[in-house]
Amino acid sequence: MSLRVLLNLVPLAAKQLYRHRIRTLLTVAGIGAGMFLFSLVESMQQAVAGATEANAEDVTLVVYRENRFCPSTSRLPIYYEDEIRKIPGVREVIPIQITVNNCGASLDIITFRGVPPNRLPSYAPEIEVIAGSLEEWGRIDDGALVGRTFAQKRGLAPGEAFEAAGVRVRVAGIIDSPYPQDNNVAYVHLPFLQQASRRGLGEVTQFNVRVSNAEQVERVANAIDERFASSEEPTHTQPEKAFFAQTARELIELTGFTRWIGLGAVIAVLGLVANAVLLVVRTRIRENAVLQTLGYPDPAVGWLVLLEGMLLGMAGGLLGTGGAMGFLAAARITFGNEGQVLAVLADPTILVRGLLLALGLGALAALYPAWIAVRNPIVESLRS
Amino acid sequence: MSTSNDILVRCRGVTKQYKKGETLVTPLESLDLDVPRGDFLAMMGPSGSGKTTLLNLLSGIDQPTSGTIEFDGMEIQDLPRRKLAGWRARHVGYIFQLYHLVPVLTAFENVELPLLLDDMSRRDRRERVEAALSLVGLADRVHHYPRELSGGQEQRVAIARALVADPALLVADEPTGDLDREAADAILGLLQTLVREQHKTVVMVTHDPRAADAAMRILHLEKGRLQEAAV
Domain extents in chain A: 3-52+250-383, 67-233
- Does B48 map to a domain? yes
In chain A, DSSP assigns E strands to: 60-65, 76-77, 90-100, 111-115, 128-132, 143-147, 161-164, 167-176, 185-189, 203-204, 206-211, 235-239, 334-337, 340-343
Cβ distance of B85 and A296 shorter than 8 Å: yes
Q: How far apart are CA B142 and CA A268, in angstroms?
A: 42
Q: How far apart are CA B231 and CA B220, in angstroms?
A: 12
Name the pairing type of β-strands A167-176 and A143-147.
parallel
Tell whether A293 lies on the interface with B, counting CB pairs under 8 A.
yes
Query: What CATH code is carried by the domain that includes residue B159?
Result: 3.40.50.300
- The Cβ-side half-sphere exposure at B53, using a 13 Å CA radius, reads 26
Tell whether A294 lies on the interface with B, counting CB pairs under 8 A.
yes
Which pLDDT belongs to residue A272?
A: 85
Q: Which residue of B has its CA nearest to A293?
A: B61
Average pLDDT estimate for A185-214: 85
Burial degree of B49 (CB within 10 A; 0-12, 13-18, 19+): buried
Burial degree of B165 (CB within 10 A; 0-12, 13-18, 19+): buried
Strand partners for B24: B19
Average pLDDT estimate for B159-171: 93
Which pLDDT belongs to residue A331?
A: 78
pLDDT above 90 (res B82): no
3-state secondary structure of A103: coil
Total domain count for chain B? 1
* Cα three-residue angle B123-B129-B133, rounded to 5 degrees: 145
Cβ distance of A298 and B90 shorter than 8 Å: no
Name every residue whose Cβ is closer than 8 Å to that of residue A287 and which is 6 or more positions away in sequence: B100, B102
Which pLDDT belongs to residue A339?
A: 62
Average pLDDT estimate for A322-329: 92
Which residues of chain A lie closer than 8 angstroms to B97, CB-CB? none
pLDDT above 70 (res B186): yes
Average pLDDT estimate for A23-47: 90
pLDDT above 60 (res B2): no
Task: For chain B, state the CA radius of gyration.
Answer: 17
Percentage of chain A exceeding pLDDT 90: 37
Q: Which of A307, A379, A9, A372 is nearest to B84 (CA)?
A: A379
Q: Is the alpha carbon torsion for A51, A52, A57, A62 positive or negative?
A: positive
Q: Which residue of B has its CA nearest to A380?
A: B62
Tell whether A155 lies on the interface with B, counting CB pairs under 8 A.
no
Evaluate whether ipTM surpasses 0.90: yes
- Does B127 map to a domain? yes
* Cα three-residue angle B209-B210-B212, rounded to 5 degrees: 60
Which residues of chain A lie closer than 8 angstroms to B94, CB-CB? 293-294
- Does B172 map to a domain? yes
pLDDT band of residue B3 (cuts 50, 70, 90) is low
Q: Which of A264, A324, A281, A319 is nearest to A25 (CA)?
A: A319
Tell whether A12 lies on the interface with B, counting CB pairs under 8 A.
yes
Residue B28 and residue B14 in contact, taking contact as beta carbons nearer than 8 Å: yes
Which pLDDT belongs to residue A54?
A: 60
Tell whether B118 lies on the interface with A, counting CB pairs under 8 A.
yes
Burial degree of A150 (CB within 10 A; 0-12, 13-18, 19+): buried
Which pLDDT belongs to residue A187?
A: 92
Average pLDDT estimate for B184-213: 92
Average pLDDT estimate for B51-78: 92
Residue A288 and residue A373 in contact, taking contact as beta carbons nearer than 8 Å: yes
Neighbours of A381 (CB within 10 A): 21
Which pLDDT belongs to residue A338?
A: 64
Q: What is the pLDDT of residues A141-193, one digit of tens each?
A: 899 999 988 888 888 999 999 888 788 999 999 999 887 777 888 999 999 98
Name every residue whose Cβ is closer than 8 Å to that of residue A193 and which is 6 or more positions away in sequence: A97, A99, A112, A114, A167, A199
Residue A173 and residue A65 in contact, taking contact as beta carbons nearer than 8 Å: no
Strand partners for B9: B35, B71
Which pLDDT belongs to residue A301?
A: 93
Interface test with A, best of B87, B102, B159 (most A CBs within 10 A): B102
Average pLDDT, chain A: 86
Q: How far is B57 from chain A (nearest CA, A)?
A: 10
**Full domain range(s) for residue B151:** 37-61+80-230
Q: What is the 3-state secondary structure (H, E, C) of chain B?
A: CCCHHHEEEEEEEEEEEEEECCEEEEEEEEEEEEEECCCEEEEECCCCCCHHHHHHHHCCCCCCCEEEEEECCEECCCCCHHHHHHHHHHHEEEECCCCCCCCCCCHHHHHHHHHHHCCCCHHHHHHHHHHHHHHCCCHHHCCCCHHHCCHHHHHHHHHHHHHCCCCCEEEEECCCCCCCHHHHHHHHHHHHHHHHHHCCEEEEECCCHHHHHCCCEEEEEECCEEEEEEC
- Does B8 map to a domain? no
Residue A341 and residue A334 in contact, taking contact as beta carbons nearer than 8 Å: yes
Q: How far apart are CA A283 and CA A278, in angstroms?
A: 9
Q: How far apart are CA A296 and CA A54, in angstroms?
A: 55
Q: Which residue of A has its CA nearest to B62?
A: A379
Region class of A112: left (phi > 0), else alpha (psi between -120 and 50), else beta: beta
Average pLDDT, chain B: 90
Cβ distance of B113 and A294 shorter than 8 Å: yes
Q: How far apart are CA B60 and CA A381, in angstroms?
A: 15
Cβ distance of A294 and B94 shorter than 8 Å: yes
Which pLDDT belongs to residue B11?
A: 93
pLDDT above 60 (res B229): no
Average pLDDT estimate for B129-153: 92
Which pLDDT belongs to residue A365?
A: 92
Which pLDDT belongs to residue A155?
A: 87
Q: How far apart are CA A36 and CA A7, in angstroms?
A: 29
pLDDT band of residue B231 (cuts 50, 70, 90) is very low
3-state secondary structure of A220: helix
Cβ distance of B96 and A379 shorter than 8 Å: no
Cβ distance of B102 and A287 shorter than 8 Å: yes
pLDDT above 70 (res A286): yes
Interface test with A, best of B87, B92, B116, B119 (most A CBs within 10 A): B116
Q: Lowest-pLDDT range, A32-46, A143-157, A296-310, A334-348?
A: A334-348
Percentage of chain A exceeding pLDDT 70: 93
Q: How far is A313 from chain B (nearest CA, A)?
A: 21
Tell whether A198 lies on the interface with B, counting CB pairs under 8 A.
no
- Does B112 map to a domain? yes
Sheet of strand B7-20: strand arrangement? B23-36, B7-20, B66-71, B74-75
- Does B7 map to a domain? no
Which residues of chain A lie closer than 8 angstroms to B118, CB-CB? 5
- A:B CB pairs within 8 Å: 69
Which residues of chain A lie closer than 8 angstroms to B59, CB-CB? 293
3-state secondary structure of A2: coil
Interface test with B, best of A5, A17, A285, A293 (most B CBs within 10 A): A293
Tell whether B90 lies on the interface with A, counting CB pairs under 8 A.
yes
Q: Is the alpha carbon torsion for A135, A138, A139, A144 positive or negative?
A: positive
- Nearest by CB: A295 against B56, B105, B114: B114
Q: Which of A275, A274, A306, A270 is nearest to A288 (CA)?
A: A306
Q: How far apart are CA A306 and CA A6, in angstroms?
A: 11
Cβ distance of A295 and B61 shorter than 8 Å: no
Which pLDDT belongs to residue B147?
A: 94
CA distances from A86 to A81, A83, A91, A292 (A): 9, 5, 10, 82
Tell whether B230 lies on the interface with A, counting CB pairs under 8 A.
no
Q: What is the pLDDT of residues B46-63, one digit of tens each?
A: 888 888 899 999 999 999
pLDDT above 70 (res A305): yes
- Does B6 map to a domain? no
Q: How far apart are CA A184 and CA A206, in angstroms?
A: 18
Q: What is the pLDDT of residues A244-255, one digit of tens each?
A: 777 666 667 777
pLDDT above 60 (res B125): yes
Cβ distance of B119 and A2 shorter than 8 Å: yes
pLDDT above 50 (res A2): yes
Tell whether B119 lies on the interface with A, counting CB pairs under 8 A.
yes
Q: Which of A335, A261, A347 is nearest to A51 (CA)?
A: A335
- Nearest by CB: A297 against B86, B109, B119: B86
Tell whether A24 lies on the interface with B, counting CB pairs under 8 A.
no
Name every residue whose Cβ is closer than 8 Å to that of residue A74 and which is 6 or more positions away in sequence: A64, A65, A68, A98, A205, A206
- Does B123 map to a domain? yes
Q: What is the pLDDT of residues A96-155, one digit of tens each?
A: 888 887 776 666 677 888 999 888 887 788 889 999 988 889 888 899 999 988 888 888
Tell whether B143 lies on the interface with A, counting CB pairs under 8 A.
no
pLDDT above 70 (res B228): no
Q: What is the pLDDT of residues A255-273, one digit of tens each?
A: 778 788 888 888 888 898 8
Determine the residue type at A135: E
Cβ distance of A293 and B117 shorter than 8 Å: no
Determine the residue type at A313: G
Q: Lowest-pLDDT range, A182-186, A194-198, A334-338?
A: A334-338
Question: What is the full DSSP assignment across A277-341?
Answer: HHHHHHHTHHHHHHHHHTT--HHHHHHHHHHHHHHHHHHHHHHHHHHHHHHHHHH--EEEETTEE
CA distances from A188 to A28, A136, B94 (A): 48, 12, 81
pLDDT above 70 (res A36): yes
